[in-house]
Structure 1
Amino acid sequence: MKIGLGCDHAGYELMIYIKEYLDEKGIEYIDFGTNSSESVDYPEFGEKVAQAVKNGECDKGIVCCGTGIGISISANKVPGVRCALCGDCYSARMSIEHNNANVLAIGARVTGKDLALEILDTWLKAEFQGGKHERRVNKIKDIESKYVI
């Protein structure tokens, strides 16, 4: 599995912990930035990760900004991406099991680093359940296709 990583300045410190976690687990990743706590605009990093997931360069993505809201909205603008903003382990598990999310967003200013790593661990271990959930994910794709030109 290869994971795309992206964050803005507010998510930079948390992303350092996430990279350490992935290194410990032997999970390969591509870091799309940012690489400092200097102010940057989150949309470009959300898009980079989402595009890497969409085009198959990465299997999944993880994005962080202050609240996780802006970067998740940005990632979700890329067709085929289902980015879930999760602040607890239950939501992280459900985002995979029921929604087959392919990008995880975490708010670095609202989620402590230990909880963030628990959320990430839960998200990575979860498996899509298919069945009725696949039908629903396909309906999401149908909605998306109506608006993508």
Structure 2
Amino acid sequence: MLADEELTSADKNQKRRWHSWLMLALAGAAAVAIVMLLVRPQSTSADSAMTEHSFAGGHLVWEIQDYPAAVLAENTFLLTLKDAGGQPIQNASLAVKLEMIDMVCGDYDFVLTEVAPGVYTGEGIPLMAGLWKATLTIDGAEDPSISRTLKAVYG
């Protein structure tokens, strides 16, 4: 009878050890999964150098020259605004905010200056390499903001 009890006790100890190893393996797999999710490449890809956007008041062509954008350098943003009839929108008040997606590294705001009828330019400076969101604000428009993504790299 004592041998049966010892065997049962040994079986219980072996089962506990197996259960402990299984829990450790699951915890390790969960830790690896969390790390992979944190360091994964951005699931959202960057837009191309030139994008087109329709809004309630017309049409926007948004171009970033010398794309992808260079980190900690002035990058020229060239925007062309036309109304619904295809005429240039002049004397608009435009501002852009750059913010890094899924990061807290600081935003960069800048205003655009009209260089030709309906053509605006400004200099934006991404602060880190990676995926950024650029949001254009048009003062007084029905749809006051338009967004796009951009990629910034070390030059």
Relative to the length of structure 1, the TM-score reads: 0.24
Would you tell me which structure has more strand in proportion to its own residues?
2
**Structure label with greater radius of gyration:** 2
Relative to the length of structure 2, the TM-score reads: 0.23
Would you tell me which structure has more helix in proportion to its own residues?
1
